[in-house]
Homo-oligomer: A and B are copies of this chain.
Amino acid sequence: MSDLTTAMLARGQRARNAARLLREASSETRTKALRLLANKLRHNADAILEANQVDLDQGRANGMSEALLDRLALNPARIEGIAAAVDIIADVKDPLGVETDRWTAPVNGLDIARVRTPIGVLGIIYESRPNVTADAAALCIRSGNAAILRCGSDCLQSSLAIARLIGEALSEAGLPADCVQLVDTPDRAAVGLMLSGLNGTIDLIVPRGGKSLVGRVQAEARVAVLSHLEGMNHTYVHSGADADMARAVVVNAKMRRVSVCGATETLLIDKAIAPDLLPLIAADLRAKGCELRGDSASRAIVPDMVAATLEDWSTEYLAPVLTVAVVDNIDAAIAHIEQYGSGHTEAIVTHDAEAAATFLNRVDSAIVVHNASTQYADGGEFGFGGEIGIATGRMHARGPVGAEQLTTYKYMVRGQGQTRP
């Protein structure tokens, strides 16, 4: 067995042992660890920045692009942001121990309660964003899960500096420092070992990064995976929409930030209102620098659009590009979404209550929105205090994954000596 394998299996066993103590810790103890962590991040900003400088120097020496360097770079304001995010997670209602249902079984009189518990040990694999180290640790502590974190090698020194503070915060709160472990080697074989489940000690893998990382994890993992694949999202402007609201919502849904998974990639608009409204929306979007690609009906209304290809309808651009289709009615809009969507987030803009209800009921996406921007697809906006990502699968959790979504449950059954006939 290689040294790395031995070391990783030992990590898994330590995580499993720590998970038991973390599971039994009180809400107050876990909150205390989070408060301590937020304060330590604030008071040790210099040490974090020093470690970050080592990563940045290394990144520059390796020819890292300016965009990636910016993603990697920390400064006092960003560190304050990381600390504030931990404080917000400390304030989130504790999901553990909550009875989500309780009833008396009719057949036998047993009192049955369903109670939230941690999942166990999570393996979290991410890219070069040092803030994820603190974010992921905080969500795991809040939800009572031990974690093995594996960051991109580009941010290893920054992450190690943050992980040191996480360990101190856990210890000072009376919890094992092993509740959150950061893999301290850049050896990529560590990822493969984590995907194997480390001898049954990892219960769930959460990849947080681009499609190539998520694709590798989904293909190789031998344990459960909670992941985000793509957000091929639609905004549908129904004939009953208020024109001003539709213009504001569409521009925001596409252009507020084009690189987020909740960004709209295709606009659908009813043919009854398209001749009047589409030119206005197109002008708004172009004023913001958005390229438009349309079907023949929309190009008849806004002639200088590029013709959309078949591929465009299922392309998540994450860029200032929008595909536009004119549809006959709500049934056609829903059919288009069923055919080309990825089940992430879809919105309808309308003042027709019946159309809104039809859309919300029939569209089978994780998040269906009436009269608001698709860019609200976010755990913070949902009030979760943070998120480890947005799940695009259908099992366990869909949509934003916060502390509550990182739990499972058990049944507590209370009897008076019942035996089964």
A411 touches B367 (CB 8 A): yes
Chain B residues closer than 8 Å to A24, beta-carbon distance: 361-362
B411 touches A368 (CB 8 A): yes
| CB within 8 Å of B: which A218-254 residues | 224, 226, 242, 245, 248-249, 251-253
Does A60 touch B at the CB level, under 8 Å? no
Chain B residues closer than 8 Å to A110, beta-carbon distance: 372, 376, 381
Our pick among B338, B381, B398, B409 for the contact of A409 (Cβ within 8 Å) is B398
Annotate A137-168 by CB proximity to B: 1 below 8 A, 0 otherwise. 00000000000000000000000000000000
B106 touches A417 (CB 8 A): no
Give the interface residue-count category, chain A.
Answer: 35 or more
Q: Please, which residue of chain B has its CB at the minimum distance from the CB of A369?
A: B413
Our pick among B97, B242, B248, B368 for the contact of A419 (Cβ within 8 Å) is B248
Does A108 touch B at the CB level, under 8 Å? yes
* A105-B381 contact given A245-B417, A408-B398, A420-B376, CB 8 Å threshold: yes
Our pick among B203, B370, B413 for the contact of A415 (Cβ within 8 Å) is B370
Stretch at the interface among A77-85, A112-120, A299-307, A314-322: A112-120
How far apart are the CA atoms of A408 and B392 in the complex, in Å? 12
Chain B residues closer than 8 Å to A369, beta-carbon distance: 413-415
25 pairs, CB–CB < 8 Å, chain A vs chain B: A20-B338, A105-B383, A107-B380, A112-B383, A224-B224, A224-B393, A224-B395, A245-B417, A248-B417, A249-B417, A365-B410, A366-B411, A367-B410, A367-B411, A368-B410, A368-B413, A369-B414, A370-B412, A370-B414, A372-B415, A372-B417, A372-B418, A373-B420, A395-B395, A395-B396
